[in-house]
Amino acid sequence: MIQFFITGTSSGIGYQLAMQALEDGHKVVGISRRHVINHPNYRHLTYNLNNYDEYKLINFNINKEAEKLVLVNNAGWLGDVKPAGQVSPASIERAYQINLIAPSILCKLFIEQTEKLEAEKVIVNISSGAASYPVSGWSTYCASKAGINLFTQVLREDYPNIHSFAIAPGIVDTDMQGEIRRLDTEDFPDKQRFVDYKDKGELSSPIDVASKLLKVIKHPETAPDCVFSLRDT
């Protein structure tokens, strides 16, 4: 049995990943503000990852029977989409909290609470293609995802025994993409590109993305690299 700890299980990729893990008979602890999954093997922790005081005392309550322990930092937030000089300090802080600071702290707590256990360990930080190239209006999102990529590479150096990955899921048909298509073109000049992806049926489904993530988690030795995109697999 694998024990999963997944953030952002109330929608999109995180929801599908949790559901597929549960269908496979594994145990899942999910973290998000909304609690939408009810299953005998699912436990929900209602935390706002923008607020360190809410999750700092998290106890992963590791199941000693688990042969594999998996942390998936999936929760993410695009932040205010505007030219960098117009983004509010509150949005900048919140985006870094959710996309970079909370995942870094959850990795630290997961490592601390599992280091004496024999079980195999996997950490997956959900990144983005936007970590590798500039997207106008997405300064904090791009920077926070670039940060999580390098953070994950350092994890590999610090803990070679943990399978650590930063994985870009591709362009996926979730609430986040809906939010992007509703943006004002003045704030986000690239909006039409994302409208076209949807119109041309080019978005990946969260179900397919979750099943590819599950494959990497089950067989980490098959992953192409520490940092990679599911589009290349």
Ligand X SMILES: NC(=O)c1ccc[n+]([C@@H]2O[C@H](COP(=O)([O-])OP(=O)(O)OC[C@H]3O[C@@H](n4cnc5c(N)ncnc54)[C@H](OP(=O)(O)O)[C@@H]3O)[C@@H](O)[C@H]2O)c1
Cβ closest to ligand X, residue 126 vs residue 162: 126
**CA-CA distances (angstroms) from residue 218 to 15, 124, 129, 223?**
18, 12, 23, 10
Q: Which of 45, 143, 172, 217 binds ligand X (CB under 6 A)?
A: 172
Tell me phi and psi for residue 222, to 5 degrees.
-90, -5
Residue from 129, 31, 110 nearest 75 by CA: 31
Q: Which of 3, 5, 12, 188 binds ligand X (CB under 6 A)?
A: 12
Residue 33 makes contact with ligand X by CB under 6 A: yes
Residue 128 makes contact with ligand X by CB under 6 A: yes
Q: How many residues does the chain have?
A: 233
Give the dihedral sign, CA 32/23/149/163: positive
Q: Which of 5, 18, 66, 76 binds ligand X (CB under 6 A)?
A: 76
How many residues of this chain bind ligand X (CB under 6 A)? Answer: 28
Query: Which residues belong to the active site?
Result: 141
CA dist 154 and 104 (Å) reads 11
Least distance to ligand X, CB of residue 40, Å = 21
CA dist 140 and 158 (Å) reads 26
Q: Which of 6, 27, 45, 50 binds ligand X (CB under 6 A)?
A: 50
Write out the two tokens for 47.
Answer: 């935390």
Cβ closest to ligand X, residue 66 vs residue 80: 80
Cβ closest to ligand X, residue 69 vs residue 78: 78
Q: Which of 19, 174, 217, 229 binds ligand X (CB under 6 A)?
A: 174
CA dist 103 and 165 (Å) reads 12
CA dist 13 and 9 (Å) reads 8
Residue 34 makes contact with ligand X by CB under 6 A: yes
Residue 171 makes contact with ligand X by CB under 6 A: yes
Least distance to ligand X, CB of residue 20, Å = 14
Question: Contact positions toward ligand X, by CB under 6 A?
Answer: 7-8, 10-14, 32-34, 48-50, 74-77, 98, 126, 128, 168-169, 171-172, 174-177
